[in-house]
A and B are shown apart, each in its own frame.
Chain A
Amino acid sequence: MSEIPADLKYTKTHEWVRTLPDGTVELGITDHAQHALGDLVFVELPELGRRLAASEPYAVVESVKAASDVYAPLAGEVTAVNTALATTPEQINQEPYGTGWMVRLRPADSAALTRLLSAQQYAEHVGPEEN
């Protein structure tokens, strides 16, 4: 069973969202997603300041077997990019909810957070996929 921290929000496409004290949100991909992709070898991240629309593909994670799009769980402007992933993409495998974070956004509409999945809803979503 993959790790699904209770304090985060999720999407059906396996992204997580953490609300930070300053009102921005941190984004990454879930433990389930990193496990399904296998060892990551490359991450393509957006430019600082780019405005993302909800559900827009904003990053590409590439493993030895596939390159997959990562979708924005909500609209907003990119305020920080985890540039360390350029040289150490394996951090997403090792700590998907920690050093494996991908970008921070200033949400265009913070109410959008309430429309995301809770940890329990996400667990139910991946439940059948797990096997």
Chain B
Amino acid sequence: MNLTIDIIISGLINGSTYALLAIGFSLIFGVARIVNIAHTAFYMLAAYCIYVVTQKMGLNSVWAMLAAIVLVTLLGMITYKFLINPIREHESAVLIATIALAIIFQEILLNVFTGTYLSVPALIDGYFTILGVKVFYQQLLTFCAALLIMGLLWALLGKTRMGLAIRSTAQDREVANLMGINEARVAMMTMGISVGLAALTGAVVVPLTIVEPHMWLSPLIMMMAVVVLGGLGSLKGSFIGAYILGFAEALVVFLAPMGAFLKGSVALTVMILVLLLRPEGLFGVYFEEER
């Protein structure tokens, strides 16, 4: 029984993290066809930003979160403007540029903070017990924040004019442009939202993880698996795919022997099995081939 609750909690937390990351990644891919490998590097930057503000400057965690989100979003938009936008037409060049960007962030952090493992205190201390299992308030908070953010994003995309512009650009760039939507500005905004989501994820998840300069790699792989599983560009797919893989990972960690080593393998195998049955992912639509 305890094991079941452990699995559920761990699955929900993992799933929410992956969902937040994958939605941001999926959004910018859908709108601007940018595969942003540096997405989780922005997540890492937010985590470090919070570490600096709370531990080095001694300010409150709430300020730290705000600062992290604003700064990282700005940085994301600047890099989009000066690095990604000029080479957007070359798909492979964008891939390499974002990989290089992620490596640059990693190296800068490695030089500034060295490779030591850092940690950040929880926003709220303490825990409560359900059926004899400790649930930390921070875990509950992370989960609730993730749900809240996803709700807000859904409202933004579904109910506002800007959301409409983003969705129509994602469906067809040229027609959206003909309808009077400033495509370049929408792409810029989407990049901001996407990086902002990554920063937010970093901000709510950071107390539960270890902060170190290579922390971007493992969520990157899981995030990509989620996005491919759910279908590229589909937000609903990313959401559901994230929980599928989050629970798959939790089940393996708690049930299989040597699970910690195999968790990535099993989650990725799940992804490949689904792709064999549905090559476009669970909820993906094949984009009209752009010839």
Bound together: no
Interface residues of B (CB under 8 A from A): none
